[in-house]
Structures are given as structure tokens and as C-alpha cells.
Amino acid sequence: MAEQTAGGTTLVEPKVTIEAPRASRKLEGTLYRGSTGMWSWVLHRITGVAIYFFLLVHILDTALVRLSPEAYNAVIGTYKTPIMNLGEIALVMAIVFHALNGLRIILVDFWSKGPRYQRAMFWIVMVVWAVLIAGFLPRQLMNLVADFQ
């Protein structure tokens, strides 16, 4: 916009203020928003890596039987401890979650309504996981108590 003055023409910038949109003051989760999809993704990766390392150790300790049966028996003997019993509980919990969540991921990817229902399917996975673990846990805890006696 030009303005006439005694000495000539000068440019005058129009005074326009643009307000930035206000950020929501509601904090949700972490930097990544903390929704069920993110936590499902994180848990799926953690359980997958844990299962991978278990399988690696399992293959290595089973291979010991061909090298030295005495070494194999010694390693297997260390597995019969309360701490390893807790590890078995954690392993079963990880495998069951990973399997159920894997089925949920397949549904999200290949079912046309999967993305719309992914949050509900996550909670269904958690309920089914809890029911299955509740069926497994009493027997395993009895083994744990027997290890202390």
C-alpha cells in the first residue's frame, strides 16, 4: 500500500495480526501422544525382541548336548531355580501377548474396518491375554512355591 507524502511516495505495511492456533492444554501421554496404537506397537516390539533372545539362548543351550552332555546338564540345572521360574512366567506372558497382538495387527492391516476398530481390538487383546494368563499363572506359581521348599 503506497502513501503520498511531501517528499514522495513511501510504502506502508498494512497492520495485520495473525494469531497462531492455540495448542490444547490437555496433556496426553508422551511425546508420541501415548495412544493405544503406540503402546501396542511398543509392547509388540519389546515382546518380539525378548522372544528372539530367548530363542537364541534356547538354541545355544540345546546345542550343548552335542558338545558335552555334562555341560548341557549343568546349564539345565541352573534353569531349575525360582528366578528362572519367574523368567518362564514372563516368557509365557510375552509370547501370549505377542501372538494375540499379532492377530490384531493382521486384522488392522487386512480387514477393511480394522483401522476403525483397532483401539477396541487392542482392549479385546488385553482382556483375552489376561484370561489366558489367569489360567496359566496358578499352576506356575505352585511350581514357584515348590522351588522354595
Q: Tell me, what amino acid is at 3?
A: E
* Whether residue 6 has pLDDT greater than 90: no
Give 39's pLDDT tier (boundaries 50, 70, 90).
confident
* Whether residue 76 has pLDDT greater than 60: yes
* Whether residue 29 has pLDDT greater than 60: no
Cα 19 to Cα 71: distance, rounded to the nearest angstrom: 72
Which of the 8 DSSP states describes residue 28? Answer: -
pLDDT, averaged across the chain: 85
Length of the chain as a residue count: 149
pTM score? 0.72
CA distances from 61 to 47, 58, 73, 80, 84 (A): 21, 5, 10, 14, 14
Tell me the mean pLDDT in the region 41-66. 93
CA distances from 32 to 24, 36, 41, 43, 115 (A): 15, 11, 12, 14, 18
Question: What is the share, in percent, of the chain residues with pLDDT greater than 70?
Answer: 81
Tell me the mean pLDDT in the region 53-64. 91
Q: Residue 90: what pLDDT?
A: 95
- Joined together, the cell numbers standing for residue 41 give 506397537
Q: Residue 82: what pLDDT?
A: 84
Q: Residue 78: what pLDDT?
A: 86
Cβ count within 10 A of residue 101: 21
* Whether residue 149 has pLDDT greater than 80: no
What is the maximum alpha-carbon separation in the chain? 105
Q: Residue 83: what pLDDT?
A: 87
